[in-house]
Homo-oligomer: A and B are copies of this chain.
């Protein structure tokens, strides 16, 4: 042990570069900033008891050395070991591309913050499992039984979606709907159609409300509505196709998700309706897969995941309930044009 201590000491004091296989460790940062590893850790994790000047110096050298804390070590040390269970909303039997993206970000942020996911039953549709320490509920429709259930369980949880009175984080769906309407209206479109999978989620409902309010404000009437079975491209395709075959011919379409939008574009193509010259289409999400061409409402998935983790930690520490709405923005690409 005396030997070990000396070795560690040596390593800390020695000016020679460490031989840890290239990895920059907390020791390197400590050495470079002329402090101890304890101080580095405290500075980096925002713990108290560090002189502001010291903190600044540590942070600076850390970024300079491109220090990236080792996750395994952090997890092992933290032993925060919260088993986070993810549950996909009822009515979302499938794992949407959106959720896949979210999940990636989410587990990154979770690991970064020293927490660990023990169990990620992504496919599970039903109510959250008993043996988890915390829950993340993905999506919610207004009377989601999982919410009452999670509350009854008394375990910390956060909802990715929107529901009054619970800790939740969601994009500003209503504002997004409004943005879409205003964009279409500004381009001169008055024959409007909203394609949505409405009953399934609060998000869809909010998007519809924002869209509808803006439309009513401008035109004193509502737009038409085509309801898709679920949120898949195929459901969007069938919804629009059926609508067009029934004889109506909108010039502006707001699809409640990029997936629906992609189905709509295919349907339009199959029926000889050209985008954007015959009809303009606005999506929602800004998924990278379809996104390169589509005019859409962009939401920041990474921020969504990050804030989910923040709220989750707050929940774990029993802090006051707080909810977040994340801003969205319209990105105008090739599928909208002025009405001819």
By the criterion CB–CB under 8 Å, are A94 and B289 in contact?
A: yes
A164 to B23, CA, bound (A): 37
Q: Which of A198-230 contact B (CB under 8 A)?
A: none
Using known A-B contacts A1-B1, A72-B116, determine if residue A95 contacts B93 with beta carbons closer than 8 Å.
Answer: no
Q: Would you call A39 an interface residue if the criterion is a C-beta within 8 Å of the partner chain's C-beta atoms?
A: no
Copies of this polypeptide in the complex: 2
A238 to B237, CA, bound (A): 10
In the complex formed, the residue of B with least CB distance to A2 is B1
Q: Would you call A76 an interface residue if the criterion is a C-beta within 8 Å of the partner chain's C-beta atoms?
A: yes
**For residue A116, which residues in chain B have a CB less than 8 angstroms away from its CB?**
72
Q: Would you call A277 an interface residue if the criterion is a C-beta within 8 Å of the partner chain's C-beta atoms?
A: no
Using known A-B contacts A76-B73, A270-B238, determine if residue A97 contacts B95 with beta carbons closer than 8 Å.
Answer: yes
**For residue A263, which residues in chain B have a CB less than 8 angstroms away from its CB?**
234
By the criterion CB–CB under 8 Å, are A76 and B81 in contact?
A: no
Q: Would you call A36 an interface residue if the criterion is a C-beta within 8 Å of the partner chain's C-beta atoms?
A: no
User: How many chain-A residues does the 8 Å CB contact rule pick out?
Assistant: 33
A94 to B234, CA, bound (A): 15
A219 to B289, CA, bound (A): 42
Could you mark each residue 72-108 of chain A with 1 if its beta carbon is under 8 Å from any beta carbon of chain B, else 0? 1101100101000000000001110100100010000
By the criterion CB–CB under 8 Å, are B123 and A288 in contact?
A: yes
Q: Would you call A46 an interface residue if the criterion is a C-beta within 8 Å of the partner chain's C-beta atoms?
A: no
**For residue A76, which residues in chain B have a CB less than 8 angstroms away from its CB?**
70, 72-73, 76
**For residue A288, which residues in chain B have a CB less than 8 angstroms away from its CB?**
123
Main secondary structure of the interface of A (DSSP, over half): helix
Which of A72, A81, A100 is packed against the most chain B CB atoms within 10 Å? A72
Which of A1, A93, A234, A288 is packed against the most chain B CB atoms within 10 Å? A234
Q: Would you call A272 an interface residue if the criterion is a C-beta within 8 Å of the partner chain's C-beta atoms?
A: no
**For residue A21, which residues in chain B have a CB less than 8 angstroms away from its CB?**
79, 81
Q: Would you call A280 an interface residue if the criterion is a C-beta within 8 Å of the partner chain's C-beta atoms?
A: no
A73 to B81, CA, bound (A): 13
**For residue A4, which residues in chain B have a CB less than 8 angstroms away from its CB?**
1
Q: Which of A54-79 contact B (CB under 8 A)?
A: 70-73, 75-76, 79
A79 to B79, CA, bound (A): 19
Q: Would you call A233 an interface residue if the criterion is a C-beta within 8 Å of the partner chain's C-beta atoms?
A: yes
A292 to B75, CA, bound (A): 38
By the criterion CB–CB under 8 Å, are A122 and B94 in contact?
A: no
A95 to B93, CA, bound (A): 17
By the criterion CB–CB under 8 Å, are B94 and A97 in contact?
A: yes
By the criterion CB–CB under 8 Å, are A122 and B104 in contact?
A: yes
A23 to B210, CA, bound (A): 49
Q: Would you call A299 an interface residue if the criterion is a C-beta within 8 Å of the partner chain's C-beta atoms?
A: no
Task: Give me the 9 closest cross-chain CB pairs, A-B, nearest first.
Answer: A1-B1, A72-B75, A72-B76, A234-B234, A72-B72, A233-B234, A73-B76, A76-B76, A94-B289
Known: A95-B100, A234-B266. 13 other contacts (CB 8 A): A1-B1, A1-B2, A71-B72, A72-B75, A72-B76, A72-B116, A73-B76, A104-B120, A104-B122, A233-B234, A234-B234, A234-B237, A238-B266
Question: Can you list 13 A-B contacts (CB < 8 A)?
Answer: A1-B1, A21-B81, A72-B72, A72-B76, A94-B289, A95-B100, A100-B100, A104-B122, A123-B288, A233-B233, A234-B234, A234-B263, A238-B266
